[in-house]
Every structure is written in structure tokens, then in C-alpha cells.
Structure 1
Amino acid sequence: MKATIWHNPKCGTSRKTLAILENLKMIDLTVVEYLKDPPTREKLAQLYTDAGITPAEGLRIRGTDATERGLPDADADTILDAMVADPILIERPLVETEKGVALCRPQDKVLDLL
């Protein structure tokens, strides 16, 4: 099974999710450090759609200026544009497999995709 994780190595939850994936022999894993290689707007929109969440639900508040920028109350297009311009606003980790996509907080949510 193929899996892609949008990963931030500074994030404990992201590191724990990555460790779960790395410990499974059946996984062909792609790791994308999204702060260095951010997803396109289209890819990000697709990930949220496939995960069944809105961009607002995928918005990282803690450790960002999202609240000061009014993003929690903004429309989806505004949030996606902000995330593409400043990927630190993307909550992590997002994991995509052939079974779907999930924002893996807590990290055990990744097991639902395997």
C-alpha cells in the first residue's frame, strides 16, 4: 500500500504518525516536508475534500498568527490562499492512502487509513 504523509519534523504528533507508518512493512511511504515543499492549492483542497473536512478545520491555530489574521472566520478560498502562501498554517500531519485521507490528530487516526 502506498501512503503519503505531509510532515513537519518539528511536530511531535507528526513524528509519531511517521513512526507508525515507517514501522509497517506493507507501506510504500512518501514523506513530504510540507514547509519545504508545500502542496499546491488544488492538492490541498483535494486533501481536505477527501478527508471530509473544511479548510477551516485543517487550519493550524496554535503557534501561528491565524487568529490575528481573522482566518478562523474566513471563507474556504481565503484560508486555502493563506495556507499556500504560508504553509505553517496547515495543520499536520495529513496522510493519504488508497483508503482515503485523514488529519492524523491524534496519531492513531492513521490506522484507519491502513
Structure 2
Amino acid sequence: MLRRGRPGLIGMAARTAVVAGTATAVSGNVQRRQQARANEQYQQEAYEAQAQQDAMDAAAARAVANAAPPAPPAPAAPADDVTSKLTQLASLHSQGILSDAEFASAKAKLLS
């Protein structure tokens, strides 16, 4: 017996299963494609960020290489210089070359 017209319960269930399966497959494909595009975009952005960082590092290295050399340290001898001059004045005073007044005046100049 051949039925014509509306499908029966099993036919409706089969049709619904086919439609649902197709919808699930299409949805899964769309989702995978979107995920692949998002991953590709992320990789491209990461590559560009790394390239930019490398360029900034290279520029900083060039700036450091082209920088003027540091100034030589200032002589730290003023305290030693005063000490040596006072020693020299004391030696001259003890030898009698400088009088007490001259020694006191020269020493006051050095210490001021």
C-alpha cells in the first residue's frame, strides 16, 4: 500500500533528524572557520608586535652605541691636594723659609 499526502510519524522524525544534523554540521563548520580566522589574526598581530619590539630594541641599541662616551671622572684630589700643600708649607716653615706669620697666612688661605 502506497501512501500519498502527508508523511507519517517516522517520516517526520527522519526529516527533522536530517534538518537538525545538517544545521549542526553547518554550525560546526562556521564555528571552526571563525576560530581559524581568529587564530590567524592573533598570530599576525603577535608577529607584528614582535617585529615592532625588535625595531625598538635595535633603535635603542643604536642610540646607546652612538651616545657620547661618559665624561672622565673629576679628580678627587682636592682633599689630597690641600693636605699635600699643608705638608709642604709645614716643611718650609720647619726649615725656616717661612716665618710664623707667613705660615699662618698661607695655611688660612688653603683652608678657606
* Band of TM-score, shorter chain: under 0.3
Q: Which has the higher contact order (CA 8 A, sep 6+)?
A: 1
Q: Which has the higher strand share?
A: 1
Query: Please, what TM-score do these two structures have when normalized by structure 2?
Result: 0.16
Larger Rg: 2
Query: Please, what TM-score do these two structures have when normalized by structure 1?
Result: 0.15
